[in-house]
């Protein structure tokens, strides 16, 4: 395939992925079998996933995807879960031990707190994905019905609010992914540096290691002999009195 044609196809695929992703609810719950809405959109665009694997998107999402892709809509595949009323996570702060497991599992960084300190959920940013519930060792996280006024104080049309909420969730998800990638790269760089330093100060061959061990043993023996020498010297006559 000519390079120019391949680039055009890649660009078309990216445009299709963007359109699919724009339809998805951006809950980032993983119920579809992928790590987030964007990976699910990529899978749909490349034929690796069907359009009916998103419980939060439910029938409305399926019909929009079918229309976009020019295929027949189909019932929700309930093996991925069932639609639920919109809800947000809530932490019982009296039981929270500050383990940070919920913070690590939140796909949109909607939980704040520090290690061994109380955590809390930013309700306006929570997508209700439920990913924070299972890791909690204290079972102190539950879902509570969402206050629709949180996202709609101006009583805007429902579709407008859904898009606004989805756009914010997408941005937070993308920012978290970028942050985690930076942290991963920094961690790998740190490990590489430590490995380089360790290699510089540690004998690299088996023979060098053996010689280092022998030399260290000789030094210890000499030190021990030197320390014991005064105690083994003969007693002088004038020391008897």
CATH number assigned to the domain comprising residue 123: 3.30.70.20
> Average pLDDT per run of 10 along the chain, which is 241 residues long?
53 87 97 96 95 97 97 97 94 94 96 93 95 96 82 74 91 93 88 71 64 80 74 53 46
Tell me the CATH number at 29. 1.10.15.40
Domain enclosing residue 20, as ranges: 3-80
**Number of domains the chain is built from:** 2
Query: Do 165 and 138 share a structural domain?
Result: yes
pTM of the model: 0.72
Q: How far is CA 71 from the centre of its chain?
A: 34
Query: Do 32 and 9 share a structural domain?
Result: yes
Considering 158, 176, 194, which residue would you say is the last residue of a domain?
Answer: 176
> Nearest 5°: phi and psi at 145?
-55, 140
> Across-strand partners of 112?
120
Query: Do 91 and 122 share a structural domain?
Result: yes
Query: Do 102 and 34 share a structural domain?
Result: no
Query: Do 104 and 54 share a structural domain?
Result: no
Query: Among residues 114, 143, 129, which one has the least CA distance to residue 56?
Result: 129
pLDDT score at 130:
97
Considering 62, 80, 98, which residue would you say is the last residue of a domain?
Answer: 80
pLDDT score at 57:
96
Query: Do 73 and 95 share a structural domain?
Result: no
DSSP state of 236: P
How far, in Å, CA of 188 to CA of 109, rounded?
A: 23
pLDDT score at 241:
46
Considering 176, 200, 233, which residue would you say is the last residue of a domain?
Answer: 176
Query: Do 105 and 63 share a structural domain?
Result: no
Residue 171 structure tokens: 């941005």
DSSP state of 32: T
pLDDT score at 58:
96
How far, in Å, CA of 106 to CA of 110, rounded?
A: 7
Residue 18 counted as domain residue: yes
Residue 151 counted as domain residue: yes
Residue 10 counted as domain residue: yes
């Amino acid at each position: 395939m000519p390079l120019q044609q391949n680039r055009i196809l890649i660009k078309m695929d990216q445009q299709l992925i963007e359109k699919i992703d724009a339809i998805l609810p951006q809950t980032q719950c993983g119920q579809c079998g992928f790590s987030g809405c964007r990976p699910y959109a990529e899978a749909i665009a490349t034929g690796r996933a069907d359009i009916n694997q998103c419980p939060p998107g439910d029938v409305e999402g399926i019909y929009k995807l079918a229309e976009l892709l020019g295929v027949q809509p189909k019932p929700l595949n309930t093996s991925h879960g069932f639609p639920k009323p919109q809800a947000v996570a809530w932490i019982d702060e009296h039981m929270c031990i500050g383990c940070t497991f919920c913070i690590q599992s939140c796909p949109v960084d909607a939980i704040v707190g520090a290690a061994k300190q109380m955590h809390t959920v930013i309700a306006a940013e929570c997508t209700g994905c439920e990913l924070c519930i299972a890791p909690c060792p204290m079972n102190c996280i539950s879902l509570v019905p969402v206050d629709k006024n949180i996202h709609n104080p101006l009583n805007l049309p429902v579709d407008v609010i859904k898009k606004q909420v989805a756009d914010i969730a997408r941005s937070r998800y993308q920012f978290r992914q970028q942050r985690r990638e930076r942290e991963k790269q920094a961690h790998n760089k740190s490990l590489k540096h430590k490995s380089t330093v360790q290699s510089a100060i540690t004998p690299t061959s088996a023979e060098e290691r053996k010689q280092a061990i022998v030399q260290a043993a000789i030094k210890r023996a000499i030190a021990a002999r030197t320390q014991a020498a005064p105690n083994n010297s003969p007693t002088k006559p004038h020391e008897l009195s």
